[in-house]
């Protein structure tokens, strides 16, 4: 999950052990064709990061091997071949998607030590082991840990440099489109119109955010047409940057330029790490049964209420509802691979309102994220989808379909945001494939 060289606690820990054992370190990255909804968008983003990772590892003196399992015919035992020649394994501690399944299954199949290291959050999630009720509960706990953990991690080179030839399975990423086309995956989901993967891409997004958006973030983050948010979530998800590095960069830039950083750090640290806490402490993430009792009761009472509009999953997917704003948010997902945070809440709330049942709504939201969102399959994905169903929130006035969970309506969006501006921008993106969120004066 942490596909980077900088600020990587797992890699630092591997180097620490390698020095103790007088061994070199190999950084192994694999990409398979058979995870659910594997498609051109996810493969492209991931492959775009590979060459730069390799370059930076070489500079550090760490070996690199990349394996692309293209189809059923390709070997499926590469990891175990490497393990046969290794003293120990260090990998990422991560609560969702393939990493969580690997970490549950692999240690039982190897005979060497298997360490999992957390490097996604600022406050290590294992230090807050109990499920937290809401942001107000986790905030003071995180704040207590900040003094010790909000410090840069300097990557030290291993004493023994990697000097062996590349393993025979290693794949050189010379042409990303060609490699993607050679994989037996879903080719109907194209790469994002906007986001290129990898360290160089995230460094340039970060620079843009610090220099032209951070000063507006506190006041304009809930106004999609202001383009004041950081667009860091795909890079955080694929580990091209760590939460710690990002938090330090924002804090440092804000201090130096006398800007406000608290609002950004609240989202990046408190809200994001609340999601990691939820993902780590919940037995399932795709079920309404894990919500608090008041939520389950109120949803059960209103699940049978008549819906003003009813759409199938396919109609949602194709952005074919009566609501131009909702359709535009879905198009943002289809084209860019994420939705602006403020409209994403509206997107979720309307799927609840226009689906046959609450369970159908949940399944639709998870499906659309897993298939299209570059920041999907993340602790933030499942936690925030469940937030639409009342998780980490408080009871509101009772109303049809929603019961006492929070409602969001089009009138509120029109009052608080520039809906017409956003519709124009998404229209432009759809027509031209150029992204007005990252271009200046595009429209």
Ligand X SMILES: Cc1cc2nc3c(=O)[nH]c(=O)nc-3n(C[C@H](O)[C@H](O)[C@H](O)COP(=O)(O)OP(=O)(O)OC[C@H]3O[C@@H](n4cnc5c(N)ncnc54)[C@H](O)[C@@H]3O)c2cc1C
Element (H, E) at 55: helix 50-60
Provide, rounded to whole angstroms, the least separation between the CB of residue 200 and ligand X. Answer: 18
Q: Is residue 205 near ligand X by the rule CB under 6 A?
A: no
* Cα(39)–Cα(441) distance, integer angstroms: 32
Provide, rounded to whole angstroms, the least separation between the CB of residue 198 and ligand X. Answer: 17
Select from 13-21, 355-363, 371-379, 429-437 the region that touches ligand X (CB under 6 A).
371-379
Q: Which residues pair with 68 in a beta bridge?
A: 31
Provide, rounded to whole angstroms, the least separation between the CB of residue 325 and ligand X. Answer: 15
128 contact partners, CB below 8 Å, separation of at least 6: 138, 141, 142, 145, 273, 277
Q: Is residue 385 near ligand X by the rule CB under 6 A?
A: yes
Provide the token pair at 132: 């937290």
* Cα(49)–Cα(29) distance, integer angstroms: 11
Provide, rounded to whole angstroms, the least separation between the CB of residue 368 and ligand X. Answer: 9
Q: How many residues bind ligand X, per CB under 6 A?
A: 28
Cβ distance to ligand X smaller for residue 52 or 231: 231
3 state SS of 48: coil
Long-range contact list for 267-271, CB < 8 A, 24+ apart?
267/221, 267/341, 268/232, 268/243, 269/121, 269/122, 269/123, 269/142, 269/243, 270/135, 270/138, 270/139, 270/142, 271/135
48 contact partners, CB below 8 Å, separation of at least 6: 176, 196, 197, 198, 201
| 438 touches 428 (CB < 8 A) | no
Q: Look at residues 334, 317, 325, 322 and name the one whose alpha carbon lies nearest to residue 423.
A: 325
Select from 59-67, 93-101, 183-191, 377-385 the region that touches ligand X (CB under 6 A).
377-385
In this structure, what are the phi and psi dihedrals at residue 30, rounded to the nearest 5 degrees?
-125, 150
Q: Is residue 341 near ligand X by the rule CB under 6 A?
A: yes
In this chain, which of 4, 271, 331, 358 binds ligand X, going by CB under 6 A? 271
Cβ distance to ligand X smaller for residue 63 or 225: 225
Select from 40-48, 190-198, 266-274, 401-409 the region that touches ligand X (CB under 6 A).
266-274
| 41 touches 335 (CB < 8 A) | no
Cβ distance to ligand X smaller for residue 67 or 346: 346
In this chain, which of 11, 50, 249, 268 binds ligand X, going by CB under 6 A? 268
In this structure, what are the phi and psi dihedrals at residue 103, rounded to the nearest 5 degrees?
-65, -20
In the numeric block, the tokens 């394996």 are attached to: 67
Select from 73-81, 97-105, 314-322, 369-377 the region that touches ligand X (CB under 6 A).
369-377
Q: Is residue 221 near ligand X by the rule CB under 6 A?
A: yes
Provide, rounded to whole angstroms, the least separation between the CB of residue 257 and ligand X. Answer: 17
Binding mask 222-261 for ligand X (x = CB under 6 A): -------xxxxx--xx------------------------
Q: Which residues pair with 347 in a beta bridge?
A: none
Cβ distance to ligand X smaller for residue 78 or 405: 405
Q: Is residue 275 near ligand X by the rule CB under 6 A?
A: yes
Q: Is residue 7 near ligand X by the rule CB under 6 A?
A: no
The CA-CA-CA angle for residues 262, 266, 268, to 5°, reads 115
First CA to last CA across the chain, in angstroms?
Answer: 36
In this chain, which of 93, 370, 375, 425 binds ligand X, going by CB under 6 A? 375
In this chain, which of 285, 388, 413, 419 binds ligand X, going by CB under 6 A? 388
Q: Look at residues 174, 189, 204, 173 and name the one whose alpha carbon lies nearest to residue 42.
A: 189
Residue with nearest beta carbon to ligand X: 341
Q: Is residue 380 near ligand X by the rule CB under 6 A?
A: yes
Provide, rounded to whole angstroms, the least separation between the CB of residue 346 and ligand X. Answer: 8
Residues 342-361 binding ligand X (CB under 6 A) are: 344-345, 348
Cβ distance to ligand X smaller for residue 272 or 358: 272
Residues lying near ligand X in the complex (CB under 6 A) are found at 221, 229-233, 236-237, 267-268, 271-272, 275, 341, 344-345, 348, 369, 373, 375-376, 378, 380-381, 384-385, 387-388
């Amino acid at each position: 999950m942490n596909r980077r060289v900088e600020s990587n606690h797992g890699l630092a820990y591997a180097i620490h052990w390698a020095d103790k054992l007088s061994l070199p370190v190999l950084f192994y990255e694999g990409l398979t064709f058979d995870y659910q909804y594997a498609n051109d968008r996810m493969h492209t983003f991931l492959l775009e990061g590979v060459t730069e990772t390799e370059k930076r590892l070489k500079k550090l003196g760490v070996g690199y091997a990349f394996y692309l399992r293209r189809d059923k015919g390709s070997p499926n035992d590469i990891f175990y071949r490497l393990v046969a020649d290794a003293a120990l394994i260090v990998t990422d501690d991560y609560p969702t998607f393939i990493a969580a399944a690997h970490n549950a299954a692999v240690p039982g199949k190897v005979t060497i030590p298997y360490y999992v290291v957390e490097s996604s959050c600022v406050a290590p999630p294992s230090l807050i082991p109990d499920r937290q009720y809401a942001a107000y509960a986790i905030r003071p706990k995180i704040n207590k840990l900040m003094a010790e953990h909000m410090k840069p991690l300097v990557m030290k080179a291993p004493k023994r440099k990697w000097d062996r030839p590349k393993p025979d399975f290693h794949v050189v990423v010379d042409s990303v489109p060609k490699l993607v086309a050679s994989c037996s995956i879903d080719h109907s989901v194209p790469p994002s119109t906007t986001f290129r993967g990898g360290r160089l891409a995230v460094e340039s997004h970060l620079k843009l955010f610090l220099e032209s958006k951070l000063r507006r973030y506190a006041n304009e983050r809930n106004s999609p047409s202001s383009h004041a948010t950081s667009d860091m979530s795909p890079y955080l998800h694929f580990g091209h940057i760590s939460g710690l590095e990002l938090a330090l960069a924002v804090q440092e830039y804000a201090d130096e330029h006398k800007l406000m950083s608290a609002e950004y750090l609240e989202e990046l640290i408190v809200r994001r790490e609340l999601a990691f806490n939820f993902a780590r402490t919940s037995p399932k993430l795709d079920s309404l049964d894990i919500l608090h009792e008041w939520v389950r009761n109120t949803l059960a009472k209103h699940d049978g209420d008549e819906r003003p509009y009813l759409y199938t999953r396919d109609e949602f997917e194709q952005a074919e509802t009566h609501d131009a704003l909702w359709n535009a948010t879905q198009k943002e997902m289809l084209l860019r691979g994420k939705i602006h945070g403020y409209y994403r809440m509206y997107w979720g709330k309307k799927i609840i309102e226009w689906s046959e049942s609450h369970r159908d709504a949940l399944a639709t939201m998870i499906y659309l994220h897993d298939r299209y969102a570059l920041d999907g399959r993340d602790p933030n994905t499942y936690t925030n989808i469940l937030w639409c169903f009342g998780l980490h929130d408080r009871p509101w006035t009772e109303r049809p379909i929603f019961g006492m969970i929070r409602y969001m309506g089009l009138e509120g969006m029109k009052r608080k945001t520039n809906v017409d501006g956003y519709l124009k921008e998404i229209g432009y993106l759809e027509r031209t494939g150029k992204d007005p969120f990252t271009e200046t004066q595009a429209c």
